[in-house]
Structure 1
Amino acid sequence: MNCGLLTNKNEPVPLKNIEVELQVQGHVATVTSTLKYLNEEDNPLEAVFVFPMPSGAALCQFSAKIADQEIVAEVQEKQEAREQYDDAVSSGEQAFLLEESEESVDVFRLSVGSLPPRQSASVTFIYIIELSVQADHSLQFCLPAVLNPRYTPAGTGGGIVSEITSSSTGIPYSLSFTAHISSPNPITKVESKCPLEPLMFLNTDHTKAKVSLNAGHMFDRDVELYLHYQNPHQLTAIVEAGAPAAQPGTLMGDPVVMVSFYPEFPESVMSSMSSCGEFVFVMDRSGSMSCRMHNGPGAQERIACARDTLLLLLKSLPMDCYFNIYGFGSRYNSFFPQSVQYSQDTMEQAVQKVKEMQADMGGTEILPALEHIYKQPCVLNHPRQLFIFTDGEVGNTKDVLRCVKSNADFHRCFSFGIGEGASSALITGLAENSSGHAQFITGTDRMQAKVMQSLRYALQPAVTDITEDWSGLSFNRLSPQIKSLFHGQRALIYAQLKGEECQNPDAKGKISVRYRLADQEVTNTVDFSLKPAENNGMAIHRLGARSLIRSLERDEQVDGADKEALKARVVDLSKQSGVSSSHTAFIAVHKGSKEAVKGPLVKRRIPTPMMLHGFGVKSRGMQLQARSRSSRKSLPTKLTRCSKKKSMPKCPDAQVFKMCSRIQAFQCLSEAVSVETSETPKDPLMQLISLQKASGCWEIESTLAEVFGKTEKELIKQIPAQVKPDVWATLLALIWLHGFKIDAQVEWQFLAMKAVAWIRSQKGQVRHVSQCYHGGRNIKAYQKMQTSHQQ
């Protein structure tokens, strides 16, 4: 499929080259992207591009070059910029207009006015972004690659449209990518799924390094970097000097400090779990959920993967909680009129309805469903936790986030972006506006693993009551107050430093961050020099400005706010810092000879023949040929590696847990469990999960025996004396999980905890099980079985 700029003969205007320079300082990155085109038409073009950007990014510079003439854009109030652009184009002047989409903060529209025939053109844009923390404490940078079409609810006007295709062959342009990395702590390694040149350290203490992407990138995947630093939980602070040309006392004229706060969770906290909560699962059932998770072999449909995930969640919930499940599309429905108490009966009802779920509810209108949920009374002493699953194809993002924010005191939201191109503005905004957590599931990522990680967050204590002591420093805070952090989350605090002490190059600063974690008071302190770091393009200033601008924009959405005053302040901050906002745009005009360009001005509207499932309507629009994606993803290998290294939550009974650990070492009851065979179900793990009862136990039945490669009679025959059949079945399930599915432990950990807790509740059975373990040990038989399984 042709995409990008096309001629009137449907021939593409060639994109020749993409150059990306990455400057990393600690936890933030400055990204400079240059895209080079050539207009081979005989007519001038006016083109409109739509391209995504990570929602947390601060777009801070844009320039264009026509032939040898460079035009640098300025930030202006949006309407003024549009009028100036129209005037320039109508006068025959070359002009560029770059503005944030009305529908979503992570999509930008670039209008290129009057590109002369047979001329080359290049556009350069610079943005700054915070790097996300991964499960193994590394920092991730993702160069965006794909943006999906987004459904726009009826009556909301035009939507955001773009291409979704990617190809591994025939790419007519190249990519060069280089990253320069500096950090207060030593850099230990840099990883990527893409082939990299060897990491080059630039100093002896390994705090500066350089790495490049190998030539020949095929644009078949995102360019991801994973940066590893020493002492990741250490509180750090970096001070950046103000711009020499800026007036002292202004944001850009004063120093700005960035503090990285990444609290460490002790093992004792990691193993404590709550049994309370109202869990509301909100599932996207729009037509686009029938798309596959990825383009590789064996990919599930999104809705099928969602069904498996809901099944796993239902089996993993604690016995004392409440739950409900909603589906939404052009309409919404719920499994129960209100949240119900978790029991074997309600779980079975829900499981049956989950099996019947299809992507058959039309468009993607999440707002009515959320408004209905928020009107339902909360369950006393059961904190409400929303788990929202969507492929992110929604056009009214700002309305949705406004609704979530207004109900933030009554719930937390755990959001999941499914598939390539889920809107980072929507997914991260849902979590940020409710003190929750966001996940993106793309490529071959397993949805179950990431969802169970979030369930763990929902059941574990979080860092709360966070306060800061700046030890007498005078400052203006630029970032919002931190309300809570889950395990694995990090916060960056930005503040504009004031006062005469900042002028003294020998002056020192100090900040202490105090917080509560599982009824314990903790304090982290860092001393830092007020002498500013070397000039790095004002990255910290601009991220601080972006944080303040976003806070003011959210305040505009509150009923009764002085919207005009807030808008004026946003425009002032945006123009002062050069950071884009919802009320400003980048405008660049080349005031040359002012001679009108000869020939007709050709506007291009490029077809994107991707059917919106359930509608039969084709999206139409323009797409920047440098395909980019707003979603993020973690390396599956990293999740697996983390699950092995990091200890899982401990079982409630030390004796049974110790036994399970020995099972993991292949030393228990080997003759009772057989290997997976070709006759077992295609996904025996999901089969085993589906058979577990709400209490946590399994029962002897033929389907369970099939998972073990046995018959029901064989299992019954092997039940030891004084051990109940359901205890025996539950023990065998634990053995099988530890023996064959240890790599998926992050997915079934809660099922195993419930199973062990149930065994413990059976009077006298723990002692019999322990005796059974010691009497039935057969290492040679189990090793033989293990060998057979590996073959």
Structure 2
Amino acid sequence: MAMLKHERSQRHIKCLIDLKIFGNVRIDLQLDARKNQSVQQHNEKVRRNRSILQRLIDVVIFLGLQELSFRGHFESEGSNNRGNYKELVYLISKYDKQMESHLDTASIFTGLSNRIQNDLIEAIHKVMLNEMQKEIDQAKFVSILVDETSDVSASSQLSTVLRYVTEDCVTKERFIGFCDVSADRSANALSEHVFKCIETWECGNKLIAQTYDGAATMAGQLNGLQAKSKSHDIVYCKQQIDKTRTVLENKLDNFSVFYDSTFIANMNRLMVFGIICENKTKVSLLYATHTISINGFTSHVNIEAEYINESQHKTEAKFVFPVEEDSAVYKFEAKIGDVHLVAKSKDKDVAKKEYKQAVDKGQSAILLRETSTSGDIFEYSLGNIPANEKIRLQICLVSELSCEVDGAVKFHMPFVLNPRYGLKPADENYQNAPQPKEFSFNASVNWNSQIKDIKSEHPVKVEYQDNKCHATVRMAKEFNFEKDLLLQVYYEDVEKPQVILEKGDENSKGMFSKDIMMINVFPELPQVKQSAANDYIFVIDRSGSMSGEKIEAAKDTLLLFLKSLPLGCSFNVISFNNDFEFLFKEGSQEYSEDSLNEALKFQKNLFASGGTEILSALKSLSVKKPFQNFHRQVFLITDGEVYNTNDVIQLVKSQVNNTRYFTIGIGSGASTELVKGIARAGKGQAEFVMTNDNLKAKVMRLLKLSKQPFVSSVCLSAKHGENNKELSFISVPERLPCIFSEEKLILYLVLHEAETSCKNVKLNLCGKIGETDFSLDFEASLLGQNNKEMTIHRLCVKRKIQELELNEDLGKGDEIKSEIIDLGTMANLVSKYTSFVGLDEHVPECMPIMRLAKPQLYSMLYVDAEGLDDIGKEMDDGEICLDLSDVDFVDSSGADSVDSSCMPPSFKVPRVTDEESFMSLGSTNKDILTCLVGLQAFSGFWNLDDQLAQALNISLKDLNKENPSISDKVWATALVVAVLREKLASQHCEWELMEKKAIEWLESQNIQPMNSEKLLEKATNFIKNKMVA
């Protein structure tokens, strides 16, 4: 009974069931096990894939950190180099069994495709952006850095960087990315990108600074990105602020407190250079007038301008304006209210001290001086301008005029003032340059013979009088301040010797008491054999401002230069921006077919970017010896500006024993002191190329001059009257300058005795050209000139000062400085060591004066704001030279913020650098001359082929048909010479040397059955017929 009861119990039944199924797997547990196994397999696969992916991500990060490219040119399996990404992955698989197995077995995802590479890069980028966004959200303030330049593919890329300081005072700088702006590089397009970036990153309320490069599109005050940024109340700084924090951090223990309290609290007072200005006074330019008098090869300019202080307080302001390097500024007057101030030339230190003392006393005062970094930039200060008062200024200057390739006498009045690359931030604040409500200029031109023509880039009205010996020039339309003012005057008999006598002032002392003769001659030196033993160095500026048409024009010019070099010479090419690059790194090479081909590859790959570091390039050249002791001829072509002009000039001067320098300045705003100073110190010639000039023609002119042997032992004597009485004089310069055949030469003769009866003068110029003696005689009627401006006397003093400055490194610095001060004060000139100062002796009653912690600095004309300071130091690219002693940090409590609306508009628009600005410098289209230059062989001949036929626009069949049974090369060369002479005669100076090489080759070919002259005649007739047809 008990057993039966047990058998029916649940426990027994369960045990029987368990016994029956013992050894069999339950379905439910079996399903769970399979699922778990599948999950485990999946997880293992994910782990392996993630492990492989981690390796691929590490490869991407490694290549990114090392700044290495991912892709290869040929990535097929048989390639020896499949690109850094693939090769690095395969290298890992060599030592990693897991990666090796993956590459051997994977059929869908190997991780090697270009798409996967891009996906990985994008994914990493998104992670980085998310982390950056978190940091920016926590940061107290942010700045944005923007730079636009061309990459190796000539595409314009805009790079953007955000810079910020975290809560723990760690500075971080994050690269956002590139943006292709090739389609539109205007300031508007760039500003849209910048503002979109600010909006995307939600940092507008924290943004305290924008930094750009010094190009006009970026830095221009009126139309540049700088100007656009002001609409967002953001400070503009040139890209030199990057190291400011480092400098300050090294100076201060508690940097974070200082940085937070100063750079944030006072940032509304930080202007163009980061220097503090507590006032937003508006000083407007009401009108400006230029009255110009051109007499032969000299000019006199009278500048009158009227400003108004529109504030309710006395204020102090500064202005800058450019001048020609040869100009002598001799007058500076101001009328401030009823006070008339007449400035006098004094020792610059004395003048500065007197000005400061007067301003501190509350007196009105004026100061005019050269900036210490450049002799072609002047600065004037107006102290204690009464509230709501007008200021009338008058500045007078005289200049020598240069002569152009086509014989034109050029008057140049600078209006564009470009930034000087590499300058230390100023210790004064440069405001936008004021624009006049009215502007006008009028010019009178006088010549002792007829004036053939007067041209200008600006529309003008020309009226002739006195049988065309006198002309007046006036504006025909509103003046366009995008360019400098240029007048080209074409005189009849311009090359005729001219001697002008200007009487001295009996009441003056020194040179001003003497009669002075100005000599203008075009010496025609005897033809001597030109030595081929020249080492030609072509130095090309490829800085960012040369981008577009200018670098293309320079490349075309280099091509013409290379093809025009004579056989037997040597050559090299240097290109420079922030750094420099030699074509032949070991030194110049002999001019041969192989070296020419290498140079042509170098020429094709030139592109513009970066800054303008001329000094380092020329220093590197100076340590390389000329090829086989040849005479070195250097050609420098630049549009840039540098702060260390004097250092460059002194370096050039140290090389004159075996080197001659020829320089070309491109565009409005090029430093006349730099370009002319290098040529003067280097015993060469200088040229300037404006928008309508022919760059290639001017370069070829200089190349032709460089082939002239050195002129030495030059002496000048002068006689006058029927008895040929010797004139006793001192020439200025005392050591006569380098003379070039048929090039204008200006000399001054300071006479020991007054001349009253002199009517004509006989001059003799003698010396040696190479090893050949020469003696040239000139005779000219003496032209008298009496004017209160004492133009010739002042130009003579200016030339003497230039000569003295060039010799300052000869161990007589103090003596030379003293002589320059004596000359400057005697002639009432501004110079390196003399300044104008004018004081109001009336001391006013005590009253509140609104003074600037750092006076606002305006431009009388146009100034690209950055770089025009008074103190310059050499620096690395992007480095700021900051001395804490130069910066005043003052309490900002109660100070008004700087309101951009109160800033005066720019008198001039910034320097144009886009492609339309230099269309006339050299066509980027392969015109016929450029094509012919490229097709000429090293020896001087051309091949008769399809390329030549296309260049000549004549079918190859027709060219061959007229061949008079001579070799194709000879016939082709004759045809090209005919085209040059008949179709391109107006460009003779550009192809003259190229044609000479071709003629020499033709004459060496022993042409039968006709000689070269008859062959050229036949070729010319053929070309003429084609031209008519």
TM value normalised by structure 2: 0.62
- Name 1:670's counterpart in structure 2: none
Cα offset, 1:540, TM superposition = 1.3
Contact 1:116 1:597 in 2 (8 A): no
Contact 2:974 2:1016 in 1 (8 A): no
- Name 1:648's counterpart in structure 2: none
Contact 1:468 1:511 in 2 (8 A): no
1:181-220 correspondence to structure 2 within 5 Å: 181-185=445-449, 187=451, 189-201=453-465, 210-214=472-476, 216-220=478-482
What amino acid is aligned across from residue 808 of structure 2 in structure 1?
Answer: E
- Name 2:891's counterpart in structure 1: none
- Name 1:261's counterpart in structure 2: 521
CA distance in 1, matches of 2:1011, 2:567: 25
- Name 2:890's counterpart in structure 1: none
CA distance in 1, matches of 2:795, 2:436: 35
Partner of residue 581 from structure 1, selected from 815, 831, 835: 831
CA distance in 2, matches of 1:185, 1:435: 32
Contact 1:719 1:728 in 2 (8 A): no
CA-to-aligned-CA distance 1:734-764 (integer Å, 9 cap, x gap): 3444454443332222222212221221233
| 1:688 aligns to 2:926 (yes or no) | no
Partner of residue 348 from structure 1, selected from 582, 597, 600: 597
- Name 1:643's counterpart in structure 2: none
- Name 1:554's counterpart in structure 2: 806
- Name 1:594's counterpart in structure 2: 844
Cα offset, 1:174, TM superposition = 2.8
CA-to-aligned-CA distance 1:623-643 (integer Å, 9 cap, x gap): 99666999xxxxx9x999xxx
Partner of residue 466 from structure 1, selected from 696, 702, 714: 714
CA distance in 1, matches of 2:411, 2:825: 27
Cα offset, 1:770, TM superposition = 7.0
1:515-554 correspondence to structure 2 within 5 Å: 515=766, 519=772, 521-526=774-779, 533-554=785-806
User: CA separation of 1:628/1:230 partners in 2, compared to 1, >3 Å: closer, same or farther?
Assistant: farther
- Name 1:31's counterpart in structure 2: 301
1:323-722 correspondence to structure 2 within 5 Å: 323-336=571-584, 337-360=586-609, 362-380=610-628, 382-460=630-708, 465-471=713-719, 472-499=726-753, 502=754, 505-506=756-757, 510-515=761-766, 519=772, 521-526=774-779, 533-558=785-810, 561-596=811-846, 598-602=848-852, 603-604=855-856, 608=864, 682-709=926-953, 714=957, 718=961, 720=963, 722=965
Cα offset, 1:193, TM superposition = 3.9
CA distance in 2, matches of 1:533, 1:716: 62
Larger Rg: 2
CA distance in 1, matches of 2:491, 2:799: 25
Of 5-14 and 118-127, more deviation after overlay is shown by 5-14
Cα offset, 1:144, TM superposition = 1.7
Of 458-467 and 237-246, more deviation after overlay is shown by 458-467
| 1:744 aligns to 2:987 (yes or no) | yes
Of 739-748 and 691-700, more deviation after overlay is shown by 739-748
User: CA separation of 1:591/1:625 partners in 2, compared to 1, >3 Å: closer, same or farther?
Assistant: farther
Contact 2:319 2:381 in 1 (8 A): yes
What amino acid is aligned across from residue 535 of structure 1 in structure 2?
Answer: N
Question: Secondary structure at the residue paired with 2:676?
Answer: helix
Contact 2:764 2:776 in 1 (8 A): yes
Contact 1:50 1:623 in 2 (8 A): no
Higher helix fraction: Structure 1 or Structure 2? Answer: 2
What amino acid is aligned across from residue 817 of structure 2 in structure 1?
Answer: K
Q: CA RMSD in A?
A: 4.1
Question: Secondary structure at the residue paired with 2:602?
Answer: helix
- Name 1:305's counterpart in structure 2: 553
What amino acid is aligned across from residue 343 of structure 1 in structure 2?
Answer: S
User: CA separation of 1:480/1:505 partners in 2, compared to 1, >3 Å: closer, same or farther?
Assistant: closer
Question: Secondary structure at the residue paired with 1:734?
Answer: helix
| 1:102 aligns to 2:353 (yes or no) | no
Cα offset, 1:458, TM superposition = 1.6
Structure 2: unaligned runs, 5 residues or longer: 1-220, 228-270, 720-725, 869-875, 882-902, 912-917
Question: Secondary structure at the residue paired with 2:512?
Answer: coil
CA distance in 2, matches of 1:238, 1:309: 39
What amino acid is aligned across from residue 474 of structure 1 in structure 2?
Answer: S
Contact 1:283 1:327 in 2 (8 A): yes
Question: Secondary structure at the residue paired with 1:455?
Answer: helix
Question: Secondary structure at the residue paired with 1:98?
Answer: strand
- Name 2:1010's counterpart in structure 1: 767
1:236-251 correspondence to structure 2 within 5 Å: 236-247=498-509, 250-251=510-511
Question: Secondary structure at the residue paired with 1:746?
Answer: helix
Question: Secondary structure at the residue paired with 2:574?
Answer: strand
Of 6-15 and 515-524, more deviation after overlay is shown by 6-15
User: CA separation of 1:766/1:738 partners in 2, compared to 1, >3 Å: closer, same or farther?
Assistant: farther
CA-to-aligned-CA distance 1:574-602 (integer Å, 9 cap, x gap): 11110111111111222334235535324
What amino acid is aligned across from residue 553 of structure 1 in structure 2?
Answer: E
Contact 1:44 1:117 in 2 (8 A): yes
Identity in percent: 29
Cα offset, 1:389, TM superposition = 1.2
CA-to-aligned-CA distance 1:630-662 (integer Å, 9 cap, x gap): 9xxxxx9x999xxxxxxxxxxxxxxxxxxxxxx
Contact 1:274 1:459 in 2 (8 A): yes
- Name 1:175's counterpart in structure 2: 439
CA distance in 2, matches of 1:774, 1:576: 65
Cα offset, 1:121, TM superposition = 1.3
Contact 2:456 2:486 in 1 (8 A): yes
- Name 1:652's counterpart in structure 2: none
Question: Secondary structure at the residue paired with 1:81?
Answer: helix
Contact 2:829 2:835 in 1 (8 A): no
User: CA separation of 1:687/1:532 partners in 2, compared to 1, >3 Å: closer, same or farther?
Assistant: closer
Of 339-348 and 114-123, more deviation after overlay is shown by 114-123
Contact 2:499 2:761 in 1 (8 A): no
CA-to-aligned-CA distance 1:153-174 (integer Å, 9 cap, x gap): 6xx77599989999xxxx7533
Structure 1: unaligned runs, 5 residues or longer: 293-299, 631-635, 641-679
CA distance in 1, matches of 2:827, 2:464: 33
Contact 1:256 1:497 in 2 (8 A): yes
Contact 2:978 2:1016 in 1 (8 A): no
Contact 1:288 1:391 in 2 (8 A): yes
Cα offset, 1:400, TM superposition = 0.7
TM value normalised by structure 1: 0.80
- Name 2:317's counterpart in structure 1: 47
CA distance in 1, matches of 2:821, 2:707: 42
Contact 1:466 1:513 in 2 (8 A): no
CA distance in 2, matches of 1:476, 1:366: 36
User: CA separation of 1:475/1:596 partners in 2, compared to 1, >3 Å: closer, same or farther?
Assistant: farther
User: CA separation of 1:580/1:690 partners in 2, compared to 1, >3 Å: closer, same or farther?
Assistant: same
Of 480-489 and 382-391, more deviation after overlay is shown by 480-489
Contact 1:477 1:494 in 2 (8 A): yes
Question: Secondary structure at the residue paired with 2:635?
Answer: strand
- Name 1:150's counterpart in structure 2: 420
1:282-293 correspondence to structure 2 within 5 Å: 282-290=539-547, 292=548
Contact 1:44 1:597 in 2 (8 A): no
CA distance in 2, matches of 1:23, 1:729: 53
Cα offset, 1:229, TM superposition = 3.9
| 1:281 aligns to 2:538 (yes or no) | yes
CA distance in 1, matches of 2:427, 2:519: 38
| 1:786 aligns to 2:1013 (yes or no) | no
CA distance in 2, matches of 1:693, 1:158: 53
CA distance in 1, matches of 2:299, 2:530: 36
